A = this chain, B = another copy of it.
C-alpha cells in the first residue's frame, strides 16, 4: 500500500470514512462536526489537533497557540450553529518544555472557552512532541444543525466578514510591516459563535462551513458535499484592509491572500436568494459573494471565468 504522503489527506480521509461508516453511524461524516441525537436536542462534537511545528507561525506566543487550538474547534461548532458547552484539551508536550509555557497554552484555550461562553472541562497531559488536540462539545438547543450538503442551485453564497487577514498578517510579520489588525486575524482569530447560532436559529441557511481551509478549498468542498457548482464574483469579495497594503508593498496577488490561504474563521454559507431580507433581519453581518450553480466552481473576474482550484489547505 502507498504512504499517507502518496495518497494525500483527502483520499485517506475517504478511506477512513469507509472503514467507520457501519450501519447506524451518523451520516454527516463530511461536516465540520459530528451530530449525536439526544432527546433534548442534538449534540455536536468535533476534534482538531494542532502541532507546534506546523501551526505556530513566526511570532506566535504559546497563549495565542492555545487560543488557536480552541478557536479551530469552536469555529467548527459555530459552522453547525451549536452553542459551545465544553472543551477538552489533550496535550502532548515535550518533557523539556517550560511549565510556564504549557500553562500559557492552557490559558489560551481557556480564554477561547470563556469567549465562547463555556469552560475547559477536562483533558489529559502527557509527554510528547508538541501536539494539542482539543475537542469541543456543543448543543443545538433544538435548532437544526447546518451542514455542508444542502446548497441548492440558485442559492446565494455569502461570508460573514472580510477575508485575507491571516495571509496579510503573515506577510506583514515576515516583512516587518506594521499591520496590527491583520496580525490579529492570524494570531487570535474570532470564531463566529453568535453568528452561527443566529444563522441556525433563522432556519434560512441551506449549507454552511467555516473558512479554515481558505475560500477556494472551501467552495469546492461545500459544492462537492452539496453536488452543486458555484460562481464567485471577485468584485464582491470583502477584503481585510491589510490585503491591499501587502499587495501594494510586496506585490503578492490579492487572490492568493483572499482565496487560497487558510486560517480564516469567517463562515461560508448559502441561502435562498428570496431570503436576503429575512437574513438581514437576523442581525448577522454578511456579504453575498456569488451564486450556487449546477456546474463547476468558477471565479468571475475581469469578465473572465476560471475554475477555482483548491488552495493550499
Contacts and interface: CB of A to CB of B under 8 A. Distances in A.
Q: How many copies of this chain sit in the oligomeric assembly?
A: 2
A133 B49 contact: yes
B3 A95 contact: yes
Interface string A39-56: 111010111110100100
A26 B85 CA distance: 11
A96 B4 contact: yes
A22 B119 contact: yes
B137 A45 contact: yes
Contacts of A120: 20, 25
Contacts of A243: none
A4 B33 CA distance: 32
Interface size class of A (residues with CB under 8 A): 35 or more
Interface stretch (A124-132, A233-241, A290-298, A300-308): A124-132
A176 interface: no
A149 interface: no
Given A90-B47, A99-B7, A100-B1, A107 B19 contact: yes
A106 B20 contact: yes
A188 B93 CA distance: 27
Interface of A: 1-7, 9, 12-13, 15-16, 19-20, 22, 24-26, 29, 33-36, 38-41, 43, 45-49, 51, 54, 85-86, 88-90, 92-103, 106-107, 109-110, 113-114, 119-129, 131, 133, 135, 137, 139
Given A1-B99, A38-B38, A51-B129, 10 more contacts: A3-B96, A12-B102, A13-B125, A15-B103, A25-B119, A26-B86, A36-B121, A51-B92, A92-B133, A129-B131
